[in-house]
């Protein structure tokens, strides 16, 4: 790529991140009365429900801590992060370490999932905020909570998920994937202390990668073999692409060339399979054998798979220098900026139909907050800065 | 309406029901090895997952019992119903009366919901099969199970649903609605024995009907007042239309003129609000205040709301003789036959995008079985026969 192209893209990402996306959340999400963030925000920032979804509270506190740590030590960013952290520590966690899925605006419990993801985003926020605030007690809390989550993760009956005789023992990609990402967060430079867990997560994730078929499955049997059921055949291309770059980060840290090559291919295969050649954009779900997925939203184009794909392709390109990786990065970036971005109000739309038309006007909802868009823009921007320097 | 039009429609409904829909399930759903029905059936009847979803097992056993009782005493229909009943009684119900949501093909538990709907469809099947088989013990079992369900229905903590401090006490339309329908099934001609429960269900349902705004809400506060949250604003027009005809059946049984008028309006308001004036068809979900529903599938056109609307409008017309009711019946029937019906393979498609294009090629899935299509075709056909006789 020529340097001008890289510089122009770098500026485009910075403009989108710092002038359109972050200001939206700074302006509309803070709850000055109770702390934490409103996360159900309409197109123009209007709060259409005041529930507080904990995945999103944790992710937003993480994001602002990250920006403070890696972009600029702005006091507003630290304050915004702290507001989320205090709300989370005060209301979201139960005495036994379980973390709620949703709270009322003033912190009363609304719902608890029989899963471990609320806990994960809670940990992620504490760890990054610990670095931002310089307070080690938050990191200590993050590590203690991580130990609990590690114990629960591979036996969800410990968080109340019932086990039924007929249900095949399955391995889910989401769990080792998020744990691996969490280790990156809580371990920081001391990741060698977690080398056993890292190895375990990577091994578990690779069970989902079927090289012979160039497919990454969401759920496989415990030994990694294919399950010919609705769940076993399910593909979530955006999720597999995200798993690819998570693994790539570790491959580079570990200096593992083979893992790096696998991670590169996971992104390429999943993007190829997930790309809608008729209307463009990445399908949300597919069935590996070509049946209709049973999810009603399978053919929709969601913001976050596109966010993951932008960064994953750019990361691939930064390693391979391969022209096709660059073209895929440009293709998905072009689609994303043209379809999801909202220059008028800021932040991106989240949901398009197959044709790429906006179907949901809100910017924040129970599963969409201040996370995938700014994380992806931030990671791409950082990498474009690096590529620009490399020349 | 002129008599020829009625006769021609009657024939169209009979053709669709008896030559295209029922044969599909007769041919592809039976599991000769384990009993019960395969319910995940692809466009051409191919089984793409062999799980057995209990809502659908119960509903199909009910449907074939109903056809046997009210159309023709075909031995095949009774046998098919019996196969479902035996599978259900042997595998689906637990000692404490809880009924599973899904089983493996040979009846091992796969999942249990913290809800009461599996139980309801289990009861419905037993009651109708009792009439078909002449065996009173099934009715006895249905009534015993109904007593349990009645006890659980208004305190779901009894089926394991947790209660959280911040969650507003809400009333859900679905529960009194299905209980009222169940009373119709288990009480038969002896419905007067259930008059207290009937009255209670109707009272609870009417809390959801806000006449001043011409809206039927899915969830309201315990006193019936509007909740300005994502859940409180949710409209499900097809469900409200179904509630309308359920209430109409009871209004006629009770000779309650006022209730009959309310039921007529519930159908008309919900259809008007739910009809997509741009692409036709009934939206799946709406938000009463015009926000985007958070359900990703809100703008899809599902088969069952259209099935409910066909019968509800025809029922309205049969009572009012009103030209607009007839036109609405014709409009939704025309849309449905043109978009959902599959003359080549039989049974209807279940899922269309907003534009009316088929998005899911399967005929049966975890939530779509042998129920809404044949029930609606059967009820319309019966009513058209009656209208034809009336002249």
Q: pLDDT tens digit string along A70-81?
A: 999 999 999 999
- B-chain residues near A293 (CB < 8 A): 360
- A-chain residues near B294 (CB < 8 A): 40, 360, 362, 365-366
Q: pLDDT tens digit string along B370-387?
A: 999 999 999 999 999 999
Q: pLDDT tens digit string along B76-131?
A: 999 999 999 999 999 999 999 999 999 999 999 999 999 999 999 999 999 999 99
Give the pLDDT band of residue B391 (cuts 50, 70, 90): confident
Asked if A318 is an interface residue toward chain B (Cβ–Cβ < 8 A), one would say no
Asked if B104 is an interface residue toward chain A (Cβ–Cβ < 8 A), one would say yes
Q: pLDDT tens digit string along B234-247?
A: 999 999 999 999 99
Interface test with A, best of B43, B166, B351 (most A CBs within 10 A): B166
- B-chain residues near A103 (CB < 8 A): 166
Residue B2: per-residue pLDDT: 83
* Residue B263 within a domain: yes
| CB nearest B49 (choices: A42, A229, A351) | A229
Listed in sequence order, the residues at least 6 apart from A132 whose beta carbon sits closer than 8 Å to its beta carbon are: A65, A68, A69, A78, A81
Share of chain A above pLDDT 70, in %: 100
Residue A361: per-residue pLDDT: 98
* Residue A84 within a domain: no
A248-284 exposure pattern, b = at least 16 Cβ within 10 A, e = fewer? bebbeebeeeebbebbbbbbbbbbebbbeeeebbbbb
The whole-angstrom distance between B98's CA and the closest CA on chain A is 14
Residues forming a β-bridge with A221: A170
Asked if A299 is an interface residue toward chain B (Cβ–Cβ < 8 A), one would say yes
Is residue A267 within 8 A of residue A312, CB to CB? The reply is: yes
pLDDT higher than threshold 80 for residue A1? no
Residue B82: CB atoms within 10 A of its CB come to: 17
The CATH number of whichever domain residue B235 belongs to comes to 1.50.10.10
* Residue B304 within a domain: yes
Calculate mean pLDDT across residues A130-137. 98
| Closest residue by Cα to residue B127 from B198, B61, B34 | B61
* Residue A40 within a domain: no
pLDDT higher than threshold 70 for residue B1? no
Q: pLDDT tens digit string along B348-374?
A: 999 999 999 999 999 999 999 999 999
Listed in sequence order, the residues at least 6 apart from B261 whose beta carbon sits closer than 8 Å to its beta carbon are: none
| CB nearest A109 (choices: B165, B298, B300) | B165
Give the pLDDT band of residue A2 (cuts 50, 70, 90): confident
* Residue A344 within a domain: yes
State the residue range of the domain holding A241: 171-360
Calculate mean pLDDT across residues A289-303. 98
Alpha helices per DSSP H over A71-107:
75-87
- A-chain residues near B298 (CB < 8 A): 359-360
- Considering only alpha carbons, which residue of chain B is nearest residue A104? B166
Calculate mean pLDDT across residues B7-13. 98
Q: Which of A184-188, B133-137, B221-225 has the weakest average pLDDT? A: A184-188
The whole-angstrom distance between A351's CA and the closest CA on chain B is 8
Asked if B99 is an interface residue toward chain A (Cβ–Cβ < 8 A), one would say no
SS3 label, residue A28: helix
CA atoms within 13 A on the CB side of A63: 25
Give the pLDDT band of residue A92 (cuts 50, 70, 90): very high
| Closest residue by Cα to residue A238 from A179, A282, A174, A293 | A282
In chain B, residues 204-243 whose CB comes closer than 8 Å to chain A: 229-230
Calculate mean pLDDT across residues A37-59. 98
Interface test with A, best of B159, B359, B364 (most A CBs within 10 A): B359
Asked if A157 is an interface residue toward chain B (Cβ–Cβ < 8 A), one would say no
* Residue B241 within a domain: yes
Q: Which helix (H) or strand (E) holds A109?
A: strand A109-111
| Closest residue by Cα to residue A126 from A219, A179, A176, A62 | A62
> Which tokens belong to B247?
């209430």
Residue B188: per-residue pLDDT: 85
Calculate mean pLDDT across residues A321-348. 98
Instruction: Round to whole Å and give the CA distance between B132 and B193.
Output: 22
Contact B362 A291 (CB under 8 A): yes
Between strands B102-103 and B109-111, the pairing is: antiparallel
Instruction: Round to whole Å and give the CA distance between A268 and A270.
Output: 6
* Residue B309 within a domain: yes
Residue B182: per-residue pLDDT: 97
Residue A189: per-residue pLDDT: 87
pLDDT higher than threshold 80 for residue A218? yes
The whole-angstrom distance between A103's CA and the closest CA on chain B is 7
- A-chain residues near B165 (CB < 8 A): 108-109
Calculate mean pLDDT across residues A150-160. 97
Q: pLDDT tens digit string along B153-211?
A: 999 999 999 999 999 999 999 999 999 999 999 998 898 999 999 999 999 999 999 99
Asked if B110 is an interface residue toward chain A (Cβ–Cβ < 8 A), one would say yes
Contact B300 A296 (CB under 8 A): yes
Burial zone of A75 (CB within 10 Å; 0-12 exposed, 13-18 middle, 19+ buried): exposed
Which position has the higher pLDDT, A391 or A102? A102
CA distances from A34 to A76, A368, B192 (A): 17, 21, 53
The whole-angstrom distance between A182's CA and the closest CA on chain B is 28
How many distinct structural domains can be found in chain B? 1
Residue B189: per-residue pLDDT: 87
- Average pLDDT of chain B to the nearest whole number: 97
Contact B111 A164 (CB under 8 A): yes
Calculate mean pLDDT across residues B311-338. 98
Residue A232: per-residue pLDDT: 98
E-strand spans in A133-192? 170-172
Q: pLDDT tens digit string along A165-213?
A: 999 999 999 999 999 999 999 998 898 999 999 999 999 999 999 999 9
């Amino acid at each position: 790529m020529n340097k001008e192209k890289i510089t122009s893209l770098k500026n485009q990402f910075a403009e989108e991140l710092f002038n359109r996306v972050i200001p939206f959340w700074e302006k509309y999400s803070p709850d000055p009365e109770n702390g934490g963030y409103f996360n159900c925000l309409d197109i123009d920032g209007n709060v259409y429900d005041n529930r507080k979804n904990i995945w999103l509270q944790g992710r937003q506190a993480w994001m602002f801590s990250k920006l403070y740590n890696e972009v600029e030590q702005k006091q507003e960013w630290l304050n915004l992060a702290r507001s989320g952290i205090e709300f989370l520590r005060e209301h979201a966690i139960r005495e036994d370490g379980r973390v709620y899925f949703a709270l009322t605006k003033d912190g009363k419990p609304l719902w608890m999932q029989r899963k471990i993801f609320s806990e994960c985003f809670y940990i992620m926020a504490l760890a990054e905020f610990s670095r931002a605030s310089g307070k080690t007690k938050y990191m200590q809390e993050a590590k203690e909570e991580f130990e609990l989550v590690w114990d629960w993760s591979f036996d969800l009956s410990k968080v109340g998920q019932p086990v039924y005789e007929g249900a095949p023992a399955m391995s889910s990609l989401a769990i080792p994937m998020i744990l691996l990402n969490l280790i990156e967060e809580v371990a920081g430079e001391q990741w060698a202390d977690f080398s056993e867990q890292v190895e375990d997560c990577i091994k578990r994730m690779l069970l989902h990668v079927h090289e012979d078929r160039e497919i990454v499955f969401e759920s496989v049997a415990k030994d990694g073999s294919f399950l010919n059921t609705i769940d076993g055949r399910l593909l979530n291309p955006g999720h597999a692409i995200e798993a690819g770059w998570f693994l790539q980060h570790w491959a580079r840290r570990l200096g593992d060339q083979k893992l790096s090559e696998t991670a590169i291919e996971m992104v390429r295969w999943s993007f190829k399979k997930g790309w809608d050649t008729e209307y463009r954009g990445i399908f949300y779900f597919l069935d590996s054998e070509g049946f209709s997925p049973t999810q009603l939203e399978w053919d929709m184009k969601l913001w976050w798979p596109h966010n993951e794909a932008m960064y994953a392709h750019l990361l691939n390109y930064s390693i391979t220098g391969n022209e096709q990786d660059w073209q895929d990065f440009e293709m998905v970036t072009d689609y994303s900026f043209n379809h999801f971005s909202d220059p008028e109000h800021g932040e991106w739309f989240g949901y398009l139909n197959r044709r790429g038309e906006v179907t949901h006007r809100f910017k924040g909802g129970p599963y969409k907050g201040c996370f995938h868009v700014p994380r992806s823009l931030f990671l791409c921007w950082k990498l474009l800065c690096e590529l620009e320097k490399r020349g």
